[in-house]
Chain A
């Protein structure tokens, strides 16, 4: 039977299965292969907080969506074109997102009475006609891998575990992707257990060959390489990019990197990654709790390191008092908050943008901290680099906001040239030239105080959490001085606005509607803006990287539009800051579901407003 190639600009695939089915690995393999092939792409891993919820249960469904394209794309896609459901629970959870006519590939062997009942199906949907409106490919994957692995010295359980690679093989066939990178990956991953390499490779090949020979598929798809700016690329997740950014900042500035932190989802990968880079001289310290994580970082900053701590909302809450200490001590410090659903433990593995207020105001006293928010997984590199640079240059804690979606999502990232990165240095205070040293005497331009680190002769001094006297840094309870220092701290943060370049506005520079975003909502909003502009609407998209201070030109941008729409994954935070600061009647889009917006939702909200 002849198989035709159909050309597509972009395709969205969603792999869904039980937590034990290896969907994250399968999705990552498809991603890496597509990245190497040259597509632009964006990913959305979506997994439960439970390590292993009961097999076959709805709670245990884990999914990985990616969009890959021959064009420049910004999101992991709204609705999937292809849904792979490895069991009835995965079908139950994800079918509602698959448009009619969409491709549905299922592991028929998993549709047992027990699993159907567990997923809440009274009838087998593969047999009752309820899936007739989809292009259903029901494949006995478990049986297939049993055949392909015949003769290998493996338990039936291990053989069955290779079925995700069978499904991957089918997808590779459908979208004409090479198998080699995955086979190499398997050799590396299971190098010490050749039987597992062989079994998974056989399953992968079997899936690919099944597509080739079985009579059920009529069409294959071609998604050409994307026209990306020339350069060398790699695929990065946001957490990895954050780590590279921090390491790059340390290397470029020649300030040793210290990381103090405590494991927390979804920030732990930052600790894992940095801990592996000991040969860069990076010191990581898994502290006894979140407070000790930031406390050790403050100590390291006092002693002259580029100090970093990372956490997520609940952990940042615990660090609040120490953040205030970093503010009053005016020490360089980078605090990464990989935001997740809250309040309290909330939704540990789901994304949210609801810690903006926490970053802005979550401390006692007037305690301003500059805030930068990364906009894409790859931008986490630049945001981490910039946060480090500002922290050192202005001697201040800086909060870097990312989120679960950026942290675990990935995209092709153009590797920057080392020389193109802006340099900065510690500029430690050397000696007092015989004069008495004044720890709170400031640089006139940055308002930064000197960084005089222990071990430097003649600069012995004491700092602390009690109010400081201007210039001397001695303890002071003087009312006028307290006011002076409060204003000084506010001005020092506001002064960072000098560093922020003019804000680009995408699309129209004035008109009916401005979509204003921050953080991980960038991608969906940019896609939405493209759609709206294609519809000849007079709209613009403005994205904020620095949230505190706000860019100096933002007010002028806002007044050029009749309407302002602020989509954010919280119940209205940036919008309150914007309304308070600029007295504009901005409208919010606030769906707080633990997942990113689709571009379609923003398009819809924009059309409603205009």
Chain B
């Protein structure tokens, strides 16, 4: 047994002799076992990245099928039942397999220890377990698709979900497992940030990305268990006929909605908070300007994390909950908008007198501010009780949450991916193609979803297979936008993959970032840092200067000491 451990360690943690020779984490060991059983946070991050991009691709295919079906009223390519399964799978895959693990588990796993100047996360085995659980959950979801899919919508509202045909149990079991994967990641990040900050880095010396990941992790650990319990109750009712939610068995169907949103509303902040953290980094680094109002941004992340637990009822304004509950939830909902607004103002103030580099990461960051602005401001219509009654369950909602989820989180994810790509893989991608793709994604996104605000307020309900012909024009425009988006993503995939093979070698610090991950080689060695990094202020860009010869930003000699 001890022999086993020894060989594992040999495969996953290279001995000293191997690493110091400049071998990076990607090629320090070979074979599928050296990846699937690795304890290296960077490899786990890369595996998560591959997995969530695959999920994004799959969810995207379902999105395109849905948009194509909606080109005409009535049947275009599939029947109503197939359509219902497709939008359910689009939602379930995008939410549970892509966007919740997206930034924390892929980018966060890779970057968090590097930004702390640490060798790894605090609990590497838990990290690997989290990835394995993710794969397990994903297998359940894929099995459910294989066995005929599920048609409940990603929200699994009872009593529809306890009475319909389809693989509801498989999907919800998958969600249960994925929940634990998410909890493990969150727990790990909390411990790592508490225990592994280098000497001299106080809480307010951390990059804001870490504040955001910390706030996210709190929500992951506290909210996700509720989801787990909820889906277990759902499974118990469906399989054993125990009456919890179904009124025919003496249950309460609205109770499910309370349980479900008690997790799923905080979950939208699991998605958006790390995205905000990414944006704080991008805006600051690419305008070479100290972030404006550091403390306000840090505190607003924590404020959002706390308030996120108190607003779930705004999903139930028309469900029949009491007026008192509606009043309280409406008021609390508005309170979340304040810290979000503060962040936006701070980012814009950061631009002031900066030196703004309009490359792909920055373009994505600027697009984020625009799209999050629209997503946030349209949220005011929904937080306000009287207007929500009309807009609830229409395309206005669909547009609103796509602006915040896709227009903000996915855009920030892409920005972060382009920002850290050279660090992760040691290669530069084509600057020109990345700008073209970013522009295409931005235009395609707005064509797709801005149209949906209009049709929603005109009376087009969501989750409709068939619709009155007066909405045809909006649906056609929206579908065309989705094809533009798809082209943008395909171009992105092509030049990113191309860069892995043919891309120019990346310097250690191509953007002039001042946080610690830029002080190690690109890609980093297995142990992250060959020599102890020099602790600097993550937002003081005067510590490094551009070196024409290498295209790298080097620490000034006086900083190195």
A and B: bona fide binding partners? no
Q: Which residues of B contact A (CB under 8 A)?
A: none
